[in-house]
């Protein structure tokens, strides 16, 4: 799709707004009146927009403008990004880096989910969270002690950042990230120590668990 000039973007926006607010596209003269120029200027713009694939001028009929650029009449893209392990350097929790998008109402979770994380491994089985489950996460930088959080752990070796689910236990500056499975050892972090201390992993809270979605039945 060819790039639009600022003026063309303005005009396309006006058409979109008209369709949304009035329910039908404007006539060439409507456009001209709104922008204060002659009908033929509007016609030129429509032709340019049609050539660039943003609209289709369906026929010689009145208001026969069909919006076709990405978001014509479609529903607003509602859903949640599925975040997880991603390539080195890039921030894991940025929606742009989503593996895929799920069509779920964020309000099905409490608190409301901002993204979804796929559980890998059985470290949380005793909390009823199985491998492969999708966990809804509400993005926040802190969490009450005892809650289940999505922790971002940064691996110095690979330079990769990844999300893990853990129970968050905090006592002063001492933080314990506990798995809900006796076979896994808890990770301990002392926030008072320098972040550059290599003996402990660097971590941050990505958010708190707001719920869970599982597809299929276990075993």
Partner DNA sequence: GGGAATACTGTTCAATTGAACAGTACTTAT
Partner DNA sequence: ATAAGTACTGTTCAATTGAACAGTATTCCC
Positions touching DNA (CB under 7 A) are 5-8, 27-30, 32, 35-41, 43-46, 48, 51-52, 57, 59-64
DSSP letter for each residue of 95-134: GGG-SEEE---GGGSSS--SEEEE--SSTTGGGT--TT-E
Among residues 3, 166, 178, 217, which one is catalytic? 166
Q: Which of 27, 123, 147, 173 does the annotation list as catalytic?
A: 123
What six digits make up the tokens of 210?
A: 């707001």
Query: Within 10 Å of residue 181's Cβ, how many Cβ atoms?
Result: 14
Q: State yes or no: residue 198 binds its own copies (CB under 8 A).
A: no
Q: What tokens were used for 136?
A: 């809804």
Question: Which one, 86 or 152, has the nearer CB to its own copies?
Answer: 152
Residue 73: contacted member of its own copies, DNA, none (CB under 5 to 8 Å, by partner type): its own copies
75: partner contacted, choices DNA, its own copies, none (Cβ within 5-8 A by kind): its own copies
The yes or no reply on residue 51 touching its own copies (CB under 8 A) is no
Work out whether the CA dihedral 133, 105, 141, 144 comes out positive or negative. Answer: negative
Does residue number 50 form part of the binding site for its own copies (CB under 8 A)? Answer: no
State the minimum distance, in angstroms, from the CB of residue 175 to its own copies: 18
Whole-angstrom Cα distance, residue 181 to residue 15? 57
Residue 206 within binding range of its own copies, rule CB under 8 A: no
3-11, 45-53, 121-129, 191-199 -> range binding its own copies (CB under 8 A): 121-129
Identify the burial level of 165 via C-beta atoms within 10 angstroms of its C-beta, where 0-12 means exposed, 13-18 middle and 19 or more buried: buried
User: How far is residue 144's CA from residue 205's CA, in Å, rounded to a whole number?
Assistant: 11
For position 75 contacting its own copies by CB under 8 A, the verdict is yes
Q: To the nearest whole angstrom, how small is the minimum distance from the Cβ of residue 30 to DNA? A: 6
What is the CB neighbour count within 10 angstroms for residue 147?
13
Distance CA 180, CA 178 (A): 6
Closest approach of its own copies to the CB of residue 18, in Å: 10
CA distance 106 to 60: 44
Q: Is 123 a catalytic residue?
A: yes
Toward DNA, which CB reaches closer, 55 or 189? 55
Binding residues (CB under 8 A) for its own copies: these are 19-20, 22-25, 27, 56, 58, 61-68, 72-73, 75, 102-105, 108-110, 125, 127-130, 133, 146-148, 208-219
Catalytic residues: 123, 166
């Amino acid at each position: 799709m060819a790039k639009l000039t600022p003026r063309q973007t303005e005009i396309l926006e006006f058409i979109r707004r008209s369709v949304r607010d009035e329910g039908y596209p404007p006539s060439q003269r409507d456009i001209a009146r709104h922008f204060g120029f002659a009908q033929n200027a509007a016609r030129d713009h429509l032709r340019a927009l049609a050539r660039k694939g943003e609209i289709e001028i369906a026929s010689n009929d009145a208001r026969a403008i069909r919006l076709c650029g990405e978001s014509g009449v479609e529903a607003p893209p509602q859903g949640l990004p599925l975040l997880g392990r991603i390539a080195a350097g890039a921030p894991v929790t940025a929606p742009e880096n989503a593996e895929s998008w799920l069509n779920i109402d964020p309000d099905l979770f409490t608190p409301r989910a901002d993204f979804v994380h796929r559980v890998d491994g059985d470290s949380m089985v005793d909390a009823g969270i199985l491998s492969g489950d999708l966990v809804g996460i509400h993005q926040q930088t802190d969490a009450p002690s005892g809650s289940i959080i999505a922790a971002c752990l940064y691996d110095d070796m690979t330079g990769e950042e990844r999300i893990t689910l853990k129970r968050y236990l905090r006592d002063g500056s001492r933080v314990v990230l506990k798995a809900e499975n006796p076979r896994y050892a808890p990770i301990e972090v002392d926030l008072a120590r320098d972040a550059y201390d290599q003996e402990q992993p660097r971590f941050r809270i990505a958010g708190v668990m707001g719920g869970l979605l599982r597809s299929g039945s276990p075993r």
